[in-house]
Chain A
């Protein structure tokens, strides 16, 4: 079974530029999560999708971050414009369905550096 795929693996941009990350969850997984992991901290949930609907985006900085999950499969997370404090690893995870939120499968992450 293929795992969660993410691209790109690394990205360096200047502040005020925009960037997009892509995630393809495990086949058949209905729930998809985007997390932000700052160095030395645990992952922090940004947004959770159930199929193509948003379940929780309470911690997503909506003035600069956006995410979509078209057709309930892969997803894109965008930052526009980026700030220095957005430097972090952006992790995508999936779980079979919402009631198994305790069992999440993570991708390798995208390491973003904002200069």
Chain B
């Protein structure tokens, strides 16, 4: 079993849709959970991070962490064509530890 898993997609949605991206993980010691966005031929860009369980909202983006289920989600409201990218979840045990990335989910938002 891989440490962090994501559905690779591709996921294709119409503009304005609500997008749900998910990751599961096996290491119960993870406490920091991040979402990165990676455009084609670019480096990943941090969208948001969450410590431990709960929700965090930033504009159109909401991150949720359910540690009891070892499951994290990223919701994108009112999706835009500019949201078309690969979304990588990432996590670490402490703020010092190495970050483990998921394989990414490719998202296309169709105008």
The residue among B41, B45, B98 with the most chain A CB atoms within 10 A of its own CB is B98
Q: Chain B residues with Cβ under 8 A from A106's Cβ?
A: 36, 43-45
- Chain A residues near B99 (CB-CB < 8 A): 45, 101-102, 104
B96 touches A98 (CB 8 A): yes
**Within B1-47, which residues are at the interface with A (CB < 8 Å)?**
4, 8, 32, 34, 36, 41-46
Query: How many interface residues does chain B have, given as a range?
Result: 20 to 34
**How many residues of A are counted as interface, with CB atoms below 8 angstroms from the partner's CB atoms?**
24
| A44-B103 Cα distance, complex, nearest whole Å | 10
B96 in complex: contacting residue of A91, A101, A103, A104, CB < 8 Å: A101
- Does A107 lie at the interface of the complex (its beta carbon under 8 Å from any beta carbon of B)? yes
Please give me the residue from chain B that is nearest to A10 by CB atom.
Answer: B41
Chain A residue with Cβ nearest B50:
A102
